Structure 1
Amino acid sequence: MNSIERHATNLADVVYGNEALRFDDPSENWFEATKIYRGSMAWDAPGVAGLLRSQTLQKIATHASKRFDDLPLILLPKPLNTNITLDDVIKERRSADYFSGGSVSLEQLSTVLQKSYGLVERKEGPRRPIPSGGALYPLDLFIVANKVDSLDKGIYHFDPYRKGLTKMGDYSEKEFEKIMLQEESVQDFAFAVVISANFWRSRFKYGHRSYRFVFMEAGHVMQNMILLSTAQKINSRPFGGFIDDELMELIGGFNGVDDAPIYTLIAGT
């Protein structure tokens, strides 16, 4: 049996090499730490009981989002109606290999943001358009605007409660492309949406299990953004790989432990 065939039948060799399996593998340790056992539920999810007993904590938990009230707010226009059927938008979705350099409208960007992770008023209180563990909503959206009509090039934070954007600063397009590791696939983009996680928002209730919930939620938001982009004839591609410390420095304000970027949508025409 040649080497390729041997590795094809023994995937452990592909992952671990030919050495003996270790007992301190970081990925396996993380997965084990996020498991829930019936006998240890009280400390696996330490904040569940406390949250159920406190109306104050419940109210605070439903208003999750970074706030930059000291910065000027740019109100977003009302989202557009998308008339394409769900069947058609699923069929038409593609991960774009490149972008042509055209711009998108502020209304289109508003539609992607507000209909993917904006505020939805319901009788039980404010919610978002996606499922979230405990309705804690531990994510924030940062926009890297490159070619958006009526919006200056820069980095912005999406405020779902005030339905607007606050400008965080400027950036270099070339620097951003290098951070995303696939420069040819990113260049000439119109906008990017960086999904960042505030892990503590979920961890105070669900302990280590919260990390699974956070990553699941990022996937829900990304799928919303991809489908909304497709419905508006905007090309898009999700990126899970990037240089973490450089992206955090570009946006600013992250410590890389309690909060960090975890997923990015690149979009354009």
Structure 2
Amino acid sequence: MKEIERHATNLVDVVYGNEKLRFDDPSENWFEASKVYRSSMAWDAPGVAGLMRSATLQKIATHAGKRFDDLPLITLPSPLRTSVSLDEVIQNRRSIEQFNGGSTTLAQLSTILQGSYGLIERPEGPRRPIPSGGALYPLDLYVVSNKVDSLEKGLYHFDPYRKGLVHLGEYSEEDFGRIMLQEEAVKDFSFAVIISASFWRSRFKYGHRSYRFIFIEAGHLMQNMILLATAQCIQSRPYGGFIDDELMDLIGGHNGVDDAPIYTLVAGT
């Protein structure tokens, strides 16, 4: 028992440092705030009742997403059909250590974008290929094109409603590597997909619990992307670590509170 207690004490030191345990730890406070209790459900999920009463609000909520309708649209080709079995894709998926500098096609990129977070028209309304808390879809995808055939190098936003990409600006490959804290690992990549969250699109309904739903949804989305990449023999690696403010500056229009990048896929050959 004393041996177990000694190891437990060491773990506490690793997590909290040498300071005394506090009662205002930010991570613990957030997790507590995101819990749902039966006695307080009315304010734990403040927007549920209002959303249920308003058909108009329901329609607006299910058409979420950043829009750049004032900019020219690059229409994506139809997604490719893959014949690889799901078992084979799961077995073959790897987080690649380094890329070889080859290019990918626009059709391959389209397959990953539309197959992971594209729009699916259903009788109950527009949906995406992954589950989302309340079907609110609070995520947006930004593409960093480095070596994609028929697509200029630059930063793009994926528009699932119009099935295309909108060119937002330029970027530096060297700066991108520094932002990802992995200059050598991401060198010679073909493209990257930055998952951005607009927290308010879920929080208005689910309160603090929304953050759990958003991060879970980002995981569903990333899994779709890496499996679709593997099915097309594209190497990939997901990254959760990056310099937040610098990545926000790269994609633009984010303040780090209402919206922020939360996950990134880097892919290539």
Q: Same fold (TM over 0.5)?
A: yes
- Deviation of 1:14 (Å): 1.7
- Does 2:217 correspond to 1:225? no
**Which of structure 1's runs of 4+ aligned residues deviate more than 6 A?**
none
Provide structure 1 residue ranges, at least 5 long, that are not aligned to the other structure: none
1:64-79 equivalence runs, <5 A: 64-79=64-79
Letter of the 2:54 counterpart: S
Q: CA RMSD in A?
A: 1.3
- Alpha-carbon distance between aligned partners in 2 of 1:267 and 1:76, rounded to the nearest angstrom: 18
Q: Is the 8 A contact 1:7 1:13 kept in 2?
A: no
| Greater shift in the superposed pair: 222-231 or 25-34 | 25-34
Counterpart AA for 1:164: G
| Counterpart residue number, 2:27 | 27
1:112 aligns with 2:112: yes
Q: Deviations over 1:68-100 (max 9, x none)?
A: 000000000000001100000000000000000
**Structure 1, residues 139-163: CA drift from partner, whole Å, max 9, x if none?**
0000000000000000000000000
SS at match of 1:197: strand
| Unpaired runs of at least 5, structure 2 | none
Aligned partners of 2:25, 2:124: CA distance in 1, in Å? 43
Match of 2:86 in 1: 86
Instruction: Tell me the SS of whatever aligns to 1:90.
Output: helix
Q: Which residue of 2 aligns with 1:14?
A: 14
Q: CA deviation at 1:6?
A: 3.9
Q: What is the one-letter code of the residue matched to 2:153?
A: K
How far off is 1:24 after superposition?
A: 0.8
Separation in 2, partners of 1:239, 1:100: 19
Q: 2: CA distance between counterparts of 1:218 and 1:245?
A: 19
Q: Which moved more, 1:172-181 or 1:5-14?
A: 5-14
Percent of aligned positions that are identical: 79
The aligned counterpart of 1:147 is: 147
1:166 is paired with a residue of what secondary structure? strand
Contact 1:106-1:151 at 8 Å conserved across structures = yes
Structure 2: how far apart are the matches of 1:17 and 1:86?
Answer: 43
Structure 1 position 10, deviation (Å): 4.0
Number of equivalences: 266
- State how far apart, in whole Å, the 2-side matches of 1:77 and 1:247 are: 28
Note the alpha carbon deviations across 1:117-175, whole angstroms, 9 max, x for none: 00011111110000000000000000000000000000000000000000000000000
Match of residue 58 from structure 2: 58
TM-fit CA distance, 1:9: 6.0
In 1: Cα distance, 2:15 partner to 2:61 partner: 40
CA distance in 1, matches of 2:16, 2:234: 41
Cα distance in structure 2, aligned partners of 1:184 and 1:17: 31
